[in-house]
Amino acid sequence: MSEEKNEQKNEVTETGEAGKKTGISKGVFIIIAVLALLVIGLGAYIIGDKTGKDSKKDNGSSQVASNETTAESSQDDKTEAFTADGKTTEKSTSSIVATETTEEKKESKRKNNPLFDSKSEIYLKVDDGNSWGSEGSFTRQYGIDICNNSGEAVKNWKITFSGFEGEVKVGDNWCGNFKLDNGTLSITPLDYNNEIPSGQSTNIGFMMIFDSEKASKTEPDIKLFVNGEEVTGGSSDKKDDKTTEKSDDKTTEKTDEKEDKTTESSGGSDKSNASAELYDKHGALKVDNVDLVDKDGKKIQLKGVSTHGIAWFPAYVNKDAFKTLRDEWGVNLIRLAMYTDEGMGYCTDGNKDDLKALIDKGVKAATELNMYVIIDWHILHDLTPLRYEDEAKDFFTEISEKYKDYGNVIYEICNEPNGGTSWSDVKKYAEDIIPIIRNNAPDAVIIVGTPNWSQEVDKAASDQLSFDNIMYAVHFYAATHKDDIRNKVKTARNAGAPVFISEFSICDASGNGGIDYSSAEEWMKYLDENDMSYAIWSLCNKDETSALISSSNEATSGWSYDDLSDAGKWYKDHLSK
């Protein structure tokens, strides 16, 4: 046994002895202390019992409220924890409420306004659900239908948009005259849609460009005027409402027939009318009277696809995409659309070298595939080709020199003059640009745009250019442009003016409205019967009706039938007839 343990044992023995000497007095003290505590506790119980019973209900309610608050906090904390992990599939309750409140407020503002009520005699339908951001700016697209159920024609209409936040400017626009003044946008009609017969509607559209995402969500104040008087809307007692939801009728027109056709086509057809119409067989083209003819003087019809803006959808400019269109669709023409003024435009903030490289990639891919190719100077927001004429001169000097030996290249020198640009303005521009191209490519076919988004070809036909191998552009969107534009085409051809449909689609002029299959078939019947060439808009997967590829599909070539949009399926089916 160690000395330490011996010392501990001795200490215990000594303590025990001491305890024996004091044990009686300590025991008594402990008993007294216990009794005292019992008395105090009993008194406290008696005093507190009544108070506890009176407050029990209130204490219970407080506890429930506290628990509910804790539960809510826990739920929010859980949401935040998921967010931190990047796995959130829902927002916190407060975020959802805020979002819904904003959207409901916007919807409610129109829902409660008779100007947007289809029961009114004259009303507006507004589609502004399409928006996107790019390079620090934010764009929202507006599609407007003016619907007339009043029993008489509506003439001299005007629409105003006001109350936009921040700096704004008008981007692409169609089917009207657009003027932005101190933040208020005024829209007035063109000649063809100045009068809206009862039971009919007219469509206009535009893109508004904002300096912030918040500003792009601004709900503008929209007003309609007819003959200078504001139309506020109002209930109509007419039972024969021919206009109500007219656009929706267009969208669903022949739906059952189209669905049956799609089912029968399942996967599309490999049969093609255009596959043999390639450059290696037909060579460089030229214009004979109103027709496009090949090297042997035989009529040829180009059936093409236009890209969207190559700066925005560059991935679709590739050889595999063009090969898919050639071999599986029957396309023999590619149109390379290069915007000049819009975001990343050639003459504004676009990279000129990158854009010319995309043009080169597209031209060479089409050439290797024996396809024809249009180089499109795609004016739109710039309104008149005169605005960037110096840049156009430099561009076509360089491009025509580079491709002077490419017999498959066609030049389109001004896509869609608009905003009041006259034919005399376009003609002056063309007379400056065409000699530049002719200096390098003396026999190349050149397409010249016409006023009012390339719709007033009759004006060009009455005062034609004096150069050879010139064609005049006409653009149509089948749900908006019908006999009115087709008759202008017929007038132009009767006057000896060759027409090239360098852009079209089967929806309305916004590019994002309902499809009119019946009108589309009328157009194609006329074009095919007259061997007129055309290119459909557009090769991309943008979330809009006119895009040929489904917005959910990311492939840039080799598309299956199910990868196509409704417009894409229709065009592939048409080329396979």
Active site residues: 416, 503
Query: Can you spell out the DSSP letters for 169-221?
Result: EEEEEESSEEEEETTEEEEE--STTSEE-TTEEEEEEEEEEESSHHHHT---E
Q: Please, what is the Cα angle at 436 between 432 and 441, to 5 degrees?
A: 140
For residue 475, give the nearest of 513, 505, 508, 503 by alpha carbon: 503
Contacts of residue 106, Cβ cutoff 8 Å, sequence gap at least 6: 219
DSSP letter at 24 equals H
Directed axis angle between helix 566-575 and helix 517-529, to 10°? 30
Q: Please, what is the Cα angle at 130 between 124 and 133, to 5 degrees?
A: 135
Distance CA 336, CA 323 (A): 15
Directed axis angle between helix 3-85 and helix 93-111, to 10°? 20
Task: Give the max Cα distance, the chain.
Answer: 140
Distance CA 300, CA 532 (A): 8
Question: β-pairing, 221-226 with 157-162?
Answer: antiparallel
